[in-house]
A and B are shown apart, each in its own frame.
Chain A
Amino acid sequence: MFLEQLINGVTLGSIYAIVALGYTLVFGVLDIINMAHGEIFMFGAFVGMLLVSKAGVPLPVAFLGAIAVTGAMGFLLERAALRPLRSRPGASNLASLISTIGVSILLENAAHRIFGAGNHPFETPFAEIRFPVGPVNVYLVQVLILLISLLLMAGLALWLSRTRGGKALRATAEDLTTAGLLGVDTDRMITVTVVIASAMGGVAGVLIGMAFNYINNQIGLSMGLKGLAIIIFGGMGSVYGAMAGGLILGLSETFVVAYGSSGYRDAIAFVIIIGVLLVRPQGLFGQAAPGTGH
C-alpha cells in the first residue's frame, strides 16, 4: 500500500514538476507569471488525445504533435500578449499577468466550444500492462511517465548549463538589459523561452492523459493553479525548486487522499503556498525576497 502510493505520488509529482518548469522558465526570464500556461497544457492534452484515441497514431507521434501545437501557441502568446507590453515603458508585470489571464480565458472557453465540457477518454494501448517489482505492481505507463519526465528535466538542465543557447537564456534571466548590451538577442531568447516552456506544457498534457486515462477542459485550470503553487513553494524562477516542489506536491496529494480526505486534495497546494508565503516568501530554493527589486 505505502509503496504503491509512493510510486503513484512520484508519477503525479513528476508531471507537476514539468508543468511548474514551464512557469518557472518564463518567470526566470521575464519576471512575469504566464497565467495561460495551464490552458496551453490542456491543449497539449487534447491534441495528444485526438492523435492517440481518435487517429490511433503511436505515442511518440502524439508527443510530437502536442509539442508542435503548444510550441506554436507559445509563440503566438508571446507575440500577441507579451511583446506589445514589453515595448511600452512603465508597463508593470501586473499588466502582463492580466494580459495572460485574458489569453487563458480565451483558450479555456475556446476549448469548451471545440471539445465540449465532458470527459474524453485517453486510451493508450498499454494502459493495462503491469509487472511486479518486489511486493508491488508497477504499471508500464507509470514507468514511461517517470522516464519521460526525468529525460525532459535532465535535458533542460543540461541545455541550460552546458550549451550556448542555455547560457544566453541564463544571462537574459539574470539581467535582460545587460544581456542585450553584451550581444544576446534578448527578444529571440524570450520567444525561445516561452516556446520551450509551452512545449513542455504540451508534453505534460499528454503525460497527464496517460496517467488519468481521461481529460476534460477543466484540467488546464486545476493544473495551472497547482503549477503556480509549486513555483511559489520551490522559489520563483528556480529550476530545481520547481522539480522538488512538483514531487513534494504530488506525494502529499497522493498520501492525503490515501490516508485522509480526498475532498481537500485540490486545496493542499494552496494551503502550502499560503504557508510558504508567510513563513519563507522566497520559497524553498529562492534567494531574492519577493516584492523587492521588481
Chain B
Amino acid sequence: MEWINPYHLQVASFVLINVILGTSIYVTLSTGQLSLGNAGFMSIGAYAAALLATKYALPIPVGVAAGALLAGAAGALVGIPSLRLSGVYLAIATLGFGEVIRAVAINWESLTGGAVGIAAIPQMGRVVLAGARDLGFSPASLGLKPNQFISLTVFLILLVAAVLTVAFFLRLGRSRVGRAYAAIRLDERAAEASGIPVTYYKVLAFSQGAMVSGLAGALYAHATSFISPADFTYHRAVEILVFAVFGGSGHILGPAFGAAFLTVVPEALRAISHYRYILYGVLVVLVVIYRPQGVIDPPLLRRMRGDRAAEAA
C-alpha cells in the first residue's frame, strides 16, 4: 500500500472541499444571483462546527450538520432583505456581509479566538482512527500506516460529502425547484408571470447556497483542525467565484470541474505555483471574454456523451 501518499490525498481532499464550495456558488447563480458572501457563510459553518466540537465536545457529524444549518439560516436571513437588490448591488452587499462576519470573527475574541483562530479542532481522520482502535481495529491489518489511514479516511468522508452534494443538486435541477430556478435565471419577470413564486425560490436558492458553503466550512475545520479569520477573506470569496466562472455556471459539473482543475494544476506544476494567482487573474479575464459560459456548458456535455441527435434537435 506504498502508493497511498498522504500528500496526494490531502490535495484531493482540498479538491473535494473546493468542489462543494463551487457547488455553493452554482446554486445561487442558477437563479441568476451573484453572491460574494460564500466565504462568510463558509466561516459560519466552520466556526459553528469547531466551537461545538472544542467547547461542547459534541460528535463531529452533529457539529457539521449544525454548522451547515446555521449557515443556511444565516443565508435566509441575508437573502430575504437582499432580494430587493440584484446584479452588482447584490454582489457588493454580500461582499460586505462577508467582511462584517470576518470583522466579528476577529473581534469577538472570547468566542472565536480572535485573529489567532481556533486550534486543536478534532480531525475527522484521527477521530475515526481512535474509534476504530477502541473496537480493536488496527490500520496495519489493511497494510496501512496510521497517517495513511487518517488521510484516506478524510478523503473518503469528503468524497461521500461531495458526491452527495453534487448528486442532490443534479437531482434538484431536474425537479420542479430546479426548473423554477432556471426560469428565474432566464427571465425573472416571465417566470413571475407564469406563476412561479420568484421571491420564495430566490431565497431558497440563496439559503441553499449558504448551507452548502457552511457544510464546506464545517468539513474544512474538521479536515485541517485549525481555522482562523484569514481562511475566510475576500480572496476566498473570489476564489469560489473563479471556480464557477472558469468551470462554467450553466451546469453543476462546471464549478466542480473548475474547482478540481484550479486546485490540482498549481499543485502539479510547482514551478508556476508562485504565479498561481496572477494566472488566475489572467484566466478569469480570458474566460469572460472568449468563453463567457465557462469551460463546461451543456452543449459540451452533450457532445461528450455523444448525444449528437439531442444537439441537432
Contacts and interface: CB of A to CB of B under 8 A. Distances in A.
Interface string B34-49: 1000000000000000
Contacts of B104: 267
Nearest to B244: A98
B107 A294 contact: no
A274 B100 CA distance: 10
Which of B280, B281, B283 has the most chain A CB atoms inside 10 A of its CB? B281
A95 interface: yes
Contacts of B106: 263
A108 B275 CA distance: 12
A103 B97 contact: no
A263 B89 contact: no
Given A109-B278, A228-B92, A270 B99 contact: yes
Nearest to A266: B103
Interface in A78-105: 80-81, 84-85, 88, 91-99, 101-105
Contact of A102 (B89, B97, B234, B281): B281
A294 B87 contact: yes
Nearest to B82: A277
Interface in B226-277: 234, 238, 241-242, 245, 274-275, 277
Nearest to A263: B107
A166 B281 CA distance: 33
Given A109-B281, A290-B85, A267 B99 contact: yes
A206 interface: no
Given A221-B234, A270-B100, A105 B277 contact: yes
B280 A105 contact: yes
A6 interface: no
A178 B96 CA distance: 35
A99 B92 contact: no
Nearest to B89: A290
A273 B103 CA distance: 15
Given A101-B284, A278-B81, A93 B107 contact: no
Interface in A261-275: 261, 263-264, 266-267, 269-271, 273-274
B99 A94 contact: no
A84 B233 CA distance: 30
Nearest to B245: A98
Interface in B42-67: none
A229 B96 contact: yes
A232 B96 CA distance: 11
A169 B88 CA distance: 22
Contacts of A291: 84-87, 89
Nearest to B284: A102
B285 interface: yes
B289 interface: yes
Contacts of A80: 285
A107 interface: yes
A178 to B, nearest CB: 22
A33 B88 contact: yes
A290 B86 contact: yes
Contacts of A113: 274-275, 278
Contacts of A221: 234
Contacts of A101: 238, 241, 284
Contacts of A32: 88
Given A98-B245, A228-B92, A274 B97 contact: yes
Contacts of A96: 288
Contacts of A106: 277-278, 280-282, 285
A85 B290 CA distance: 9
B197 interface: no
Contacts of A229: 96
A160 interface: no
B93 interface: yes
A261 B81 contact: no
Interface string B283-308: 11100110010000000000000000
B88 A97 contact: yes
B95 interface: yes
Contacts of B88: 32-33, 93-94, 97
Given A85-B288, A261-B107, A266-B103, A278 B281 contact: no
A281 B89 contact: yes
Given A97-B91, A263-B106, A270 B288 contact: no
A113 B276 CA distance: 11
Interface of B: 34, 81-82, 84-89, 91-93, 95-97, 99-100, 103-104, 106-107, 234, 238, 241-242, 245, 274-275, 277-278, 280-285, 288-289, 292
27 contacts: A32-B88, A85-B289, A98-B245, A98-B284, A99-B284, A102-B283, A102-B285, A102-B288, A103-B281, A105-B278, A106-B282, A109-B275, A109-B277, A109-B278, A109-B281, A228-B95, A232-B92, A263-B103, A266-B99, A266-B103, A267-B103, A270-B97, A274-B97, A277-B81, A277-B89, A277-B93, A294-B87
A-B pairs with the 5 shortest C-beta distances? Answer: A106-B281, A102-B284, A267-B103, A270-B96, A105-B281
Given A94-B87, A104-B281, 4 more contacts: A232-B92, A277-B84, A278-B84, A291-B84
